Amino acid sequence: MKSKRLGRQTVALSNPPAVIASANIGGKMEGQGPLKAWFDEWDEDSFFGQKTWEKAESFMQKKALQRALDRAGLSPEQIDYVFAGDLLNQCIGTSFGLREFGIPFYGLYGACSTMGESLALAALAIDGGFAERCAAMTSSHFCTAERQYRMPVPYGSQRTPTAQWTATAAGCAILSDAADDAPRVTYVTCGKIVDKGITDASNMGAAMAPAAYDTLRAFFRETGTAPEDYDRVITGDLGELGHAIVRDFFARDGIDLGENFVDCGLLLYDRTGQDMHAGGSGCGCAASVFNGYILDQLRKGVWKRIVFAPTGALLSPTSSFQGESVPGICHAVRVDA
């Protein structure tokens, strides 16, 4: 049976791939947060025993993939493709993290939407009959991201109130066409680049909110569903401000997103005990929350169906220096228990 295209952006998978295993890893802050119990591993050492933070980020990807493979009882040879990327220039977190596995690799750049993009493409590859098993993964590291996008960490520069904290974390999901009793990716909605002219690179939540609104609206329209049909509608790292903006956009359309509309960036850290300003961000934020807490709630049947819609800010320091605004993108997947 062919998958059904429900509209320009959404595909209803006819043989929804199962997420047969997942793994995540975090840093010190992530291990001290409210989702502590849902991390497979976390390390006080931001270097994870490596010589540089970049190597530490690659190490996190390697660990997450290896642990997910171990849980699935699979060797790297049994994975047909890995879809992955990260925030670093030329995605070196991924290329150096995955090079030893020898798995056919499609490299992605979706900024912090990468966990959504990788899940979407992995699910399509399996549903299309092109693969039996795929891995989807991504990572971020506070110190590599600060050095690259903003200031070196030792400089100690002050962060603005709208700034978010890049998570030091990685997450990996293994998808399979086998009929396991596991959460399944049932719908995939591909996002468009949306740019509403926000130029403040310290306010990424606001820059990404229009993309989240655009993709979620397309998802609900094309699937003929409403926010109340889901146990959770989960954005990736909009943070406090961006999340409120999306809620406001929907409210203007007469749609109340309600209490089930949550954000990985607001779940990952203690909003009062940990001073993360507007919340968490980074590819690893949505990736570690999805591959730990979210999948666990689905596996336990606490939630029956969710929408997972991480957003990415498609800027670079160079584009900001050149006065450009911040384009955003959001890729959504529906996952059923």
Q: Which chain residues interact with a second copy by CB under 8 A?
A: 2-3, 5, 8-9, 11, 51-52, 54-55, 77, 80-81, 85, 87-92, 95-96, 98-99, 102-111, 117, 120-121, 124-125, 127-131, 148, 190-195, 314-319, 322, 324, 327, 329
- φ, ψ of residue 124 in degrees (nearest 5): -65, -40
Nearer to a second copy, 43 or 127 (CB): 127
CB of 204 to a second copy, least distance (A): 12
CB of 118 to a second copy, least distance (A): 10
Which amino acid type is present at position 285? C
User: By three-state DSSP, how is residue 71 classified?
Assistant: helix
CB of 217 to a second copy, least distance (A): 13
The distance of Cα 103 from the centroid of its chain, to the nearest Å, equals 21
Nearer to a second copy, 35 or 91 (CB): 91
CA–CA gap between residue 140 and residue 111 (Å, rounded): 10
CA–CA gap between residue 187 and residue 194 (Å, rounded): 21
Nearer to a second copy, 3 or 32 (CB): 3
CB of 287 to a second copy, least distance (A): 16
C-beta pairs of 198-202 under 8 Å, 24+ apart in sequence: 198/325, 198/326, 199/320, 199/323, 199/324, 199/325, 199/326, 200/162, 200/326, 201/149, 201/313, 201/315, 201/317, 201/320, 201/326, 202/159, 202/160, 202/162, 202/163
CB of 194 to a second copy, least distance (A): 8
Nearer to a second copy, 3 or 274 (CB): 3
90-116 b/e with 16+ CB inside 10 Å = b?
Answer: ebebbbbbbeebebebeebebbbbbbb
Nearer to a second copy, 205 or 292 (CB): 205
Nearer to a second copy, 267 or 283 (CB): 283
CB of 93 to a second copy, least distance (A): 10
